Amino acid sequence: METVKDFQWKKGITVKDYVDRLGNVGFQSIELKRASEVIIKMKKNNAKIFLTFTSNMVTSGLRGFFAQIVEKRIADIIVTTVGGIEEDIMKALGEKFRIGKFDVDDVELHEQGINRVGNLQITTESYMRFEDFLQPLLKELYDKQKRWAVSDLLREIGLKLDDENSILYQAAKNNVPIFCPAITDGSFGFHLFLFQQKYNDFVVDVVKDFGNILYSTSHDEKKGVIALGGSISKHHAILSTLLNGGADYAVYMTTAHKTSGSMSGATTQEAKSWGKVKDESDIATVNGDVTIMFPLAMIRVFEVLQEENLLE
């Protein structure tokens, strides 16, 4: 049986050593190390890996880290919410998001044309420039074909971007599909609506894309899920694994708690009751801020895989 060990700093400690030592500290530190180990197993056992995250994580500086994970061939399938698509494009166009405070006069921010996401800020002008980029691009895609599955549409947009830190760019470059089942739930959806008023035979087919995510894996393949936060992005991935026999590996990271009965708070253990995660699967649920927990877990993954010449 493992025992608690006192943690102490040492000069030159690596992230791998740090997370390894956390594995004997207690509480969520143990789950953090376990999460890293499960992700390593996913990669070593050639699982098809679903990476899901919500838009607030793209608002943050994790956006470039997600792009790097795609570039390093860790994630095979991405599921996110539409804000993550919008803000990835904004940043690729050169928009800068500000760091502010959680406790601020939001009425004053609104009057200044500033929109708050926690302690981060996005100007309304950023959305206006996003619109200027999107509308002519939609016309270009419309001229190419009238009906698009969401993931195909997002791949085309990714091919138009020129930013190594863009999730859409790296996904398009590395043939990693991005699924966004709630594509209309944001500014992007509003502009799709406006475009369709002018070109009423333009169709973005969400149902077809549901078929695409189902066919992206099979019962016979091993499947892994890394779900950051909750929302539709998390559920869309684990629903597709359910319909393909369940996930063999699952890592959830969230600030939500299991007692809420929500998708965001639901644990990997709870997922077994639905068959979304297999009975004998390797699982870990980490309660904590993803902007802190996920980089620690993933850098350990990178370092272990690099040591074993398994990192592309």
Residues serving a catalytic function are 276
Tokens for 108, please give them.
């004053």
* Plot region of 309 (φ>0 → left; ψ -120 to 50 → alpha; else → beta): left
Q: What gap in Å lies between CA 69 and CA 76, rounded to an integer? A: 10
- Residue pair 225/247 in contact by the 8 Å Cβ criterion: yes
Write the DSSP string, 128-154.
Answer: HHHHHHHHHHHHHHHHH-SEEEHHHHH
CB contact at 8 A, 224 and 250: yes
Dihedral of the CA atoms 69, 59, 98, 119 (nearest 10)?
-120
Distance CA 129, CA 86 (A): 11
174 near 73, Cβ under 8 Å? yes
Burial class (CB in 10 A: 0-12, 13-18, 19+), 10: exposed
Amino acid letter for position 152: D
Alpha-carbon distance values, 234 to 48, 109, 170, 187, 289 (Å): 15, 31, 21, 21, 16
The Cβ of residue 55 has, within 10 Å, a number of other Cβ atoms equal to 23
Chain centroid to CA 296:
16
User: Which residues make beta-bridge pairs with 77?
Assistant: 50
